[in-house]
Amino acid sequence: MAQLIKKENITISTGEYQKDGQTKQRYKTIGELITMQGDDGSTYQFGEMWGPTGSTKFNVYDQQDRNETAPQQQQYQQQAPQQAPQQQQYQQNNNYQNQTR
Residue 58 and residue 48: Cα distance in Å, rounded? 6
The number of domains in the chain is 1
pLDDT of 2 strictly over 70: yes
Phi, psi of 77 (to 5 degrees): -65, -40
| 9/88: higher pLDDT | 9
Range of the domain at 76: 3-100
Question: What band does 24 get if pLDDT is binned at 50, 70 and 90?
Answer: very high
CA Rg, the chain, in Å? 17
Q: What pLDDT is stored for residue 38 in this prediction?
A: 94
Q: What pLDDT is stored for residue 63 in this prediction?
A: 83
Q: What pLDDT is stored for residue 65 in this prediction?
A: 57
Q: Are 76 and 59 in contact (CB under 8 A)?
A: yes
* Burial status of residue 44 (CB atoms within 10 A of its CB: 0-12, 13-18, 19 or more): buried
Q: Could you tell me which residues are beta bridge partners of residue 45?
A: 35, 60
Q: What pLDDT is stored for residue 64 in this prediction?
A: 78
What are the pLDDT digits (tens) for 84-93? 444 444 444 4
What are the pLDDT digits (tens) for 29-82? 999 999 999 999 999 999 999 999 999 999 999 887 556 655 555 544 444 434
Q: Comparing C-alpha atoms, which of 76, 77, 9 is closest to residue 38? A: 76
What's the full length of the chain, in residues?
101
